[in-house]
Structure 1
Amino acid sequence: MLEEKLTDAIVEELKRQAANQPHLLKVERADDAKASQELIVNGKIDLAALVMVIAGSVAGGP
């Protein structure tokens, strides 16, 4: 399903950004469960990178 693919892509990109700069960004998911539709984000997000991931996901990229 497209919604699941987009959700996974967004969450994984935000987690990647947080891992690269933990002092600037913190990302948490309720119980870190895949089924959760809630995400807690605190900090700076590289919006250009996030948009690229979303566009790639919609276009069928990895």
Structure 2
Amino acid sequence: MNIEDQVREAIVAELKRQSEAGQRGLRVQTGEAETITVEGRINLDELTMAVVGSLAGGP
């Protein structure tokens, strides 16, 4: 897996996690591999930590 795939997967996974946690009315809809529809507020600190963690080999 290349770095772009890692970042993409980390972003989608974290947005879905935030959505499922009910944070800020966030709704996430995935479509094609290159697209995602996001509606609501996103916690950027948590998103950043998830992406950095995925690049560092974290969960």
- TM-score between both structures, scaled by the size of structure 1: 0.84
- CA distance in 2 between counterparts of 1:8 and 1:26 reads 17
- Residue ranges of structure 2 left out of the alignment (5+ in a row): none
**Structure 1 residue 2: Cα displacement:** 1.2
Equivalent residue, structure 1, for 2:54: 57
Equivalent residue, structure 2, for 1:4: 5
The alignment of Structure 1 onto Structure 2 pairs a total of residues equal to 58
- Pick from 33, 43, 46: which aligns with 2:43? 46
SS in 2 for 1:28: strand
* Large movers: runs of 4+ above 4 Å: none
Structure 2 counterpart of 1:19, one-letter code: E
RMSD: 1.5
- Residue ranges of structure 1 left out of the alignment (5+ in a row): none
Q: Is the 2:19–2:25 Cα contact (8 Å) retained in structure 1?
A: yes
1:16 maps onto 2:30 in alignment: no
**Structure 1 residue 57: Cα displacement:** 1.1
Identity of aligned residues (%): 40
- TM-score between both structures, scaled by the size of structure 2: 0.87
